[in-house]
Amino acid sequence: MRSSILIIYTGGTIGMKTDPDTGTLVPFDFSAIYEEFPSLKRLKVDIDVHTLTPVIDSSNVQPHNWVTLAELIREKYDCYDGFVVLHGTDTMSYTASALSFMFENLSKPVVFTGSQIPIGVLRTDGRENLITAIEIAGARDAEGLPLVPEVSLYFQNHLFRANRTTKRSAEALSAFYSYNYPPLADVGVNITYNRSAILHPERYDKPLCISSHFDDGVCVIKLFPGLTEHTLRAMLSIEGLRAVVLETYGAGNAPTADWFIRPLEEAIGRGLIVLNITQCKGGGVAMGLYETGLRLQQIGVQSGYDMTVEAAVTKLMYLLGQTQSNKEIKKRLEEPLRGEFTR
């Protein structure tokens, strides 16, 4: 059974190659993909390519770019069996997390990938990342259903749930990792799918809906010894601020002193939502464990459990864009919407 795949190129390192005459990096033409990689013809997939204009370095990505990308996928949704999004690595985890929240009733694979070395450079990691991402996006079971019908991120031999990933290295070819959730697939000689870890929709025939409103009234406050009341109060009184991701220590701990607790308590009293996630890469928040976490719980700080900062920020922007009701937002923060945390 052949699958049809749409590759969407948004920008980033993967889309560059060395000009043989000048030695400089020039854009790679993905529409000539079969000429560049004739071996692709051996996969049971038909490929189309769409390049978003302008292509951008992912450090320039803003929420409106997430909306453009999601709208394109919705528009082409019925024409393809799966989608591969080529994206710069710097903010790939943010975009992929945001899309995971935006899509309602997703039942087809959306696989993000990119590379650390341009695709047109001899030692590139982009070639393997691209070809394997295409294979995964087109993979189906005996009944013809997609093997990975969720938003995922493929990089260097591992397929991860996108909203569990973080860019962990600016140097290593294994640039991404999911510290708190197992890979959805491991790639060696064969691709081994971890079927029990993959999310499946209740029904495959529902139309894909996207919600295209993000509210950027969110900021991240990362704790460090030496943070002052003055700085904290300044951040908490930013105009338009509706929610804060508080990056705490260890299992969700923070200073117990009044200078720290009181400004937070006052801000929560004014209607600010505060979501507690840990600065640690692995593990999550357990606010009842120490006095230093319990105080936060008592003043109404919510647990982000083992969410990444990328998932926490994009989930908040998404929820704030959906409703003005803090009660509703707080309720939805308590439930994993797309498998983004484990309690």
Residue 166 is among the residues annotated as catalytic for this protein:
no
Which CB atom, from 120 or from 293, has the smaller least distance to ligand ASP? 120
Q: How many CB atoms lie within 10 A of CB 24?
A: 8
Burial of 79 (0-12, 13-18, 19+ CB in 10 A): exposed
x/- map, 17-56, ligand ASP, by CB under 6 A: ----------------------------------------
Helix extents (H) in 227-308 = 229-236, 258-269, 291-298
Query: Is residue 293 a contact point for ligand ASP (CB under 6 A)?
Result: no
Query: Is residue 88 a contact point for ligand ASP (CB under 6 A)?
Result: yes
Q: C-beta of 15: minimal distance to ligand ASP in Å?
A: 8
Among the candidate windows 38-46, 86-94, 279-287, 297-305, which touches ligand ASP by CB under 6 A?
A: 86-94
- Which residue of 3, 6, 9, 12 would you call a contact of ligand ASP, by CB under 6 A? 12
Give the footprint of ligand ASP on residues 102-121 (CB under 6 A): 114, 116
Among the candidate windows 5-13, 26-34, 137-145, 177-185, which touches ligand ASP by CB under 6 A?
A: 5-13
Q: Give Cβ neighbours of residue 298 (< 8 Å, ≥ 6 apart).
A: none
Q: C-beta of 123: minimal distance to ligand ASP in Å?
A: 15
Give the footprint of ligand ASP on residues 216-255 (CB under 6 A): none
Among the candidate windows 8-16, 21-29, 74-82, 100-108, which touches ligand ASP by CB under 6 A?
A: 8-16
Query: Is residue 57 a contact point for ligand ASP (CB under 6 A)?
Result: yes
Long-range contacts of 140-144 (CB under 8 A, 24+ apart): 140/1, 140/3, 140/81, 144/1
- Which residue of 13, 156, 165, 166 would you call a contact of ligand ASP, by CB under 6 A? 13
Which CB atom, from 89 or from 302, has the smaller least distance to ligand ASP? 89
Catalytic residue among 10, 13, 91, 166: 13
Q: C-beta of 307: minimal distance to ligand ASP in Å?
A: 22
Q: Give Cβ neighbours of residue 285 (< 8 Å, ≥ 6 apart).
A: 248, 251, 252, 276, 277, 278, 293, 303, 304, 305, 306
Q: Give Cβ neighbours of residue 252 (< 8 Å, ≥ 6 apart).
A: 276, 277, 278, 284, 285, 286, 287, 289, 293, 296, 303
Cβ-contact 302, 140 below 8 angstroms = no
HSE, side-chain direction, 13 A CA sphere, residue 305: 14
Shortest Cβ contact with ligand ASP: which residue? 88
Which two structure tokens, joined as six digits, stand for 203?
């029904």
Cβ-contact 66, 303 below 8 angstroms = no
| Residue 329 identity | I
β-pairing, 218-222 vs 243-248, is parallel
Q: How many CB atoms lie within 10 A of CB 334?
A: 11
Which CB atom, from 114 or from 183, has the smaller least distance to ligand ASP? 114
- Which residue of 8, 47, 58, 155 would you call a contact of ligand ASP, by CB under 6 A? 58
Q: Which residues are catalytic?
A: 13
Residues near ligand ASP (CB under 6 A)? 11-13, 57-59, 88-90, 114, 116
